[in-house]
């Protein structure tokens, strides 16, 4: 070989190595791809239209919102809006917008974009399943100038800022909305967030790529994480730990407790338990259908339930016992409720005896006036609820209550609850604002499965939703929860904790204030993975 040409050859090899590194061929500078397991295949993923928590896990990184909720303090902080004011009567929210933001398609974010997005959400033709209701008493969005927009309400609606901080009201490119229309936009989504939407193949994968131009995130966004995230679907809980162990996934949520316990002992993995604000797993007790129309019967059912044993046996040490209509990490959680309805089967038997329910024929089920004390319990198959129902059947049988437990689909559960066919039925919703109680406990609430009709409770819940001062709001919600538990309208079982498990190579995995959605802008992988 010609020795004079050797330096050029070496230089060429070095250049080629550098090019390979920057193109993902290996070495320092290789783009990092994170694989994230989703546990539900949504029926659709347009956040303005569809309602699942699962769509928010990826799309929370595609969209920015007008405001953000700091996951540590719970305070609302600037997002696409730098500041905002609320009129004294609570009917107008005025937002000053950032002027340096562009959508992923290069178009500019401004007040007109906000108007287009909000009017799309409330347009009946859109068919929004969640976002339109999150806007409460919204009337219109007024463009004052390019960087100022006012939201007008028909009546004060205190949860508005909470709603505007969520991905379901994320800001989408008006150009993209106009180009693709409501049916196809979900496959071509364009936001302003730290990641760009690349592709969605239903049932297979959803891919995001880092937005290199992103400069306008809130302070708790720490830039510099992975370059690409590929989401894949693992609906069967039995497949989730296997996907982690085989290296198919780097992160997975909703890991079954027994698998989480095993993986926690494996140095290759880290368990990230995240307490979810909102409602606990709970059973609503129907006050409009005998025998649960009797307060004593409802109180006996709660008192006979060993919630601590249920939580420990089924959900492990990560899942706290629930004591109130809101979980302990929620705004408005009432302190002191831990002392209510302690487990006491003898007290439960006494309550039923005093109410005239006795087992006269010795068959193990109490009767009164020739009618057996039997309950219809409808339940869905998600979230280890069937295992909870088995333990409830045993506990209630021990005090002389028969249970007809019927597994049903979610639509069938909705129908049964709407018609009042149940005595008990489990359900819960998540959220950071306690206003979600109104749907469940006001007389006209869409999820009033306890069938309560209490004018004073209605008034407290309505007043709380219209009160912008947080201290006064929380006092009203605590008063409402006291009435709910005094009347034994609900049996809280356990506060929800999402068991996320990640490869030990995943760094800075964190979640937003809702508890479900990862802050992927922060997440990294070890360089030598």
Tens digit of each residue's pLDDT (9 = 90 or more) over 354-380 = 999 999 999 999 999 999 999 999 999
Q: Identify the band that residue 529 occupies on the pLDDT scale cut at 50, 70 and 90.
A: low
* Shared-domain flag, residues 305 and 261: no
For 42-51, letters b (16+ CB in 10 Å) and e give: bebbbbbbbb
Q: What's the rounded Cα separation, in Å, for the pair 44 and 509?
A: 26
pLDDT of residue 224: 73
pLDDT of residue 2: 42
Q: 386 — phi, psi (to 5°)?
A: -55, -35
Contact 456, 295 (CB under 8 A): no
pLDDT of residue 60: 97
Long-range contacts (CB closer than 8 Å, 24 or more residues apart) made by 265-270? 267/504, 268/503, 268/504, 269/244, 269/501, 269/502, 269/503, 269/504, 270/501, 270/502, 270/503, 270/504, 270/506, 270/509
* Shared-domain flag, residues 111 and 245: yes
Mean pLDDT of 313-321: 92
* Shared-domain flag, residues 488 and 505: no
pLDDT at 453 > cutoff 50? yes
- pLDDT, tens digit, 9 for 90 and up, residues 149-196: 999 999 999 999 999 999 999 999 999 999 999 999 999 999 999 999
Whether residue 17 lies inside any domain: the answer is no
What secondary structure does DSSP assign to 144-162, as a single string? Answer: EETTEEEEEESS--TTHHH
Whether residue 10 lies inside any domain: the answer is no
Helix (H) or strand (E) holding 433: none
pLDDT of residue 29: 60
Domain with 292 in it: 281-495
Q: How many domains does the chain have?
A: 2
* Shared-domain flag, residues 264 and 289: no
* Shared-domain flag, residues 303 and 381: yes
> How many other C-beta atoms are found inside a 10 Å radius of the C-beta of residue 429?
12
pLDDT of residue 335: 87
Q: What's the rounded Cα separation, in Å, for the pair 348 and 398?
A: 10
291 preceded by cis ω (within 30°)? yes
pLDDT of residue 511: 96
Whether residue 13 lies inside any domain: the answer is no
Q: What's the rounded Cα separation, in Å, for the pair 403 and 400?
A: 10
Q: Identify the band that residue 5 occupies on the pLDDT scale cut at 50, 70 and 90.
A: very low
pLDDT of residue 350: 98
Percent of the chain with pLDDT over 70: 94
Percent of the chain with pLDDT over 90: 89
Q: 389 — phi, psi (to 5°)?
A: -60, -40
Q: What's the rounded Cα separation, in Å, for the pair 209 and 152?
A: 36
* Shared-domain flag, residues 446 and 486: yes
Whether residue 6 lies inside any domain: the answer is no
If you ran DSSP here, which 8-state letter would residue 320 be given? Answer: P
* Shared-domain flag, residues 261 and 369: no
Q: Identify the band that residue 90 occupies on the pLDDT scale cut at 50, 70 and 90.
A: very high
Q: What is the CATH number of the domain that holds 265?
A: 3.40.190.10
- pLDDT, tens digit, 9 for 90 and up, residues 26-74: 345 678 999 999 999 998 999 999 999 899 999 999 999 999 999 999 9
pLDDT of residue 172: 98
pLDDT at 1 > cutoff 50? no
pLDDT at 21 > cutoff 50? no
* Shared-domain flag, residues 470 and 515: no
* Shared-domain flag, residues 226 and 327: no
* Shared-domain flag, residues 198 and 105: yes
Give the residue, 23 or 342, on which the prediction is more confident. Answer: 342
pLDDT of residue 3: 39
Task: Identify the three-state secondary structure at position 131.
Answer: helix
pLDDT of residue 4: 38
* Shared-domain flag, residues 316 and 446: yes
- pLDDT, tens digit, 9 for 90 and up, residues 221-260: 977 789 999 999 999 999 999 999 999 999 999 999 999 9
Task: Identify the three-state secondary structure at position 255.
Answer: coil
Whether residue 387 lies inside any domain: the answer is yes
Whether residue 19 lies inside any domain: the answer is no
The strand pair at 424-427 and 281-285 is best described as antiparallel
pLDDT at 15 > cutoff 60? no
Mean pLDDT of 390-411: 96
Q: What value does the mean pLDDT of the chain take? A: 93
pLDDT of residue 299: 98
Contact 38, 57 (CB under 8 A): yes
Whether residue 61 lies inside any domain: the answer is yes
Of the candidates 192, 217, 187, 221, the one whose C-alpha atom is nearest the C-alpha of residue 202 is 187
* Shared-domain flag, residues 479 and 412: yes
**Sign of the CA dihedral with 198 first, then 201, 202, and 207 last:** negative
What secondary structure does DSSP assign to 446-477, as a single string? Answer: TT-TT----HHHHHHHHHHHH---HHHHHHHH
The strand pair at 251-252 and 33-38 is best described as parallel
Q: What is the CATH number of the domain that holds 325?
A: 3.10.105.10
Whether residue 23 lies inside any domain: the answer is no
């Amino acid at each position: 070989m010609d020795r004079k040409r050797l330096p050029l050859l070496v230089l060429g090899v070095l250049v080629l190595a550098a090019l390979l590194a920057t193109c993902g061929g290996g070495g320092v500078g290789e783009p990092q791809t994170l694989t994230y397991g989703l546990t539900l295949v949504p029926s659709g993923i347009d956040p303005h239209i569809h309602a699942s928590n699962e769509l928010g896990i990826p799309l929370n990184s595609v969209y920015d919102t007008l405001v953000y909720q700091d996951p540590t303090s719970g305070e609302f902080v600037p997002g696409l809006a730098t500041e905002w004011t609320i009129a004294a009567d609570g009917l107008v929210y005025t937002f000053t917008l950032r002027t340096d933001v562009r959508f992923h398609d290069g178009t500019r974010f401004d007040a007109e974009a906000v108007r287009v997005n909000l009017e799309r959400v409330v347009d009946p033709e859109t068919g929004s399943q969640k976002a339109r209701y999150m806007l409460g008493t919204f009337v219109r969005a007024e463009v004052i100038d390019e960087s100022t927009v006012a939201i007008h309400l028909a009546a004060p609606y205190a949860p508005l800022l909470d709603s505007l901080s969520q991905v379901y009201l994320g800001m989408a490119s008006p150009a993209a909305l106009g180009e693709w229309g409501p049916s196809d936009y979900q496959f071509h989504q364009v936001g302003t967030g730290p990641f760009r939407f690349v592709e969605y193949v239903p049932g297979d994968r959803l891919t995001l790529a880092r937005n290199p131009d992103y400069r306008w995130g809130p302070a708790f966004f720490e830039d510099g994480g992975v370059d690409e995230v590929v989401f894949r679907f693992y609906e069967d809980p039995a497949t989730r730990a296997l996907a982690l162990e085989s290296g198919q996934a780097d992160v997975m949520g909703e890991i079954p407790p027994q698998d989480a316990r095993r993986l926690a002992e494996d140095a290759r993995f880290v368990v990230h338990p995240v307490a979810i604000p909102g409602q606990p797993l709970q059973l609503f007790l129907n006050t409009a259908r005998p025998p649960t129309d009797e307060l004593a019967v409802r109180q006996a059912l709660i008192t006979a339930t060993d919630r601590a044993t249920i939580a420990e046996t089924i959900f492990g040490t990560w899942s706290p016992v629930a004591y109130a209509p809101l979980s302990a990490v929620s705004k408005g959680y009432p302190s002191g409720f831990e002392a209510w309805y302690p487990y006491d089967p003898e007290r439960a038997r006494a309550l039923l005896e005093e109410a005239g329910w006795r087992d006269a024929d010795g068959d193990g089920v109490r009767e009164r006036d020739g009618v057996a004390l039997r309950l219809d319990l409808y339940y869905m198959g998600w979230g280890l609820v069937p295992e909870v129902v088995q333990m409830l059947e045993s506990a209630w049988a021990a005090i002389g209550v028969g249970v007809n437990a019927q597994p049903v689909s979610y639509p069938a559960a909705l129908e049964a609850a709407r018609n009042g066919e149940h005595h008990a039925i489990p359900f819960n919703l998540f959220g950071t604002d306690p206003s979600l109680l109104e749907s469940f406990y006001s007389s006209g609430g869409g999820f009033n499965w306890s069938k309560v009709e209490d004018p004073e409770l209605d008034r407290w819940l309505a007043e709380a939703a219209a009160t912008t001062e947080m201290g006064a709001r929380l006092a009203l919600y605590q008063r409402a929860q006291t009435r709910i538990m005094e009347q034994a309208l609900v049996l809280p079982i356990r506060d929800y904790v999402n068991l996320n498990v990640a490869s030990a190579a995943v760094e800075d995995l964190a979640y937003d204030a809702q508890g479900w959605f990862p802050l992927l802008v922060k997440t990294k992988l070890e360089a030598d993975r």
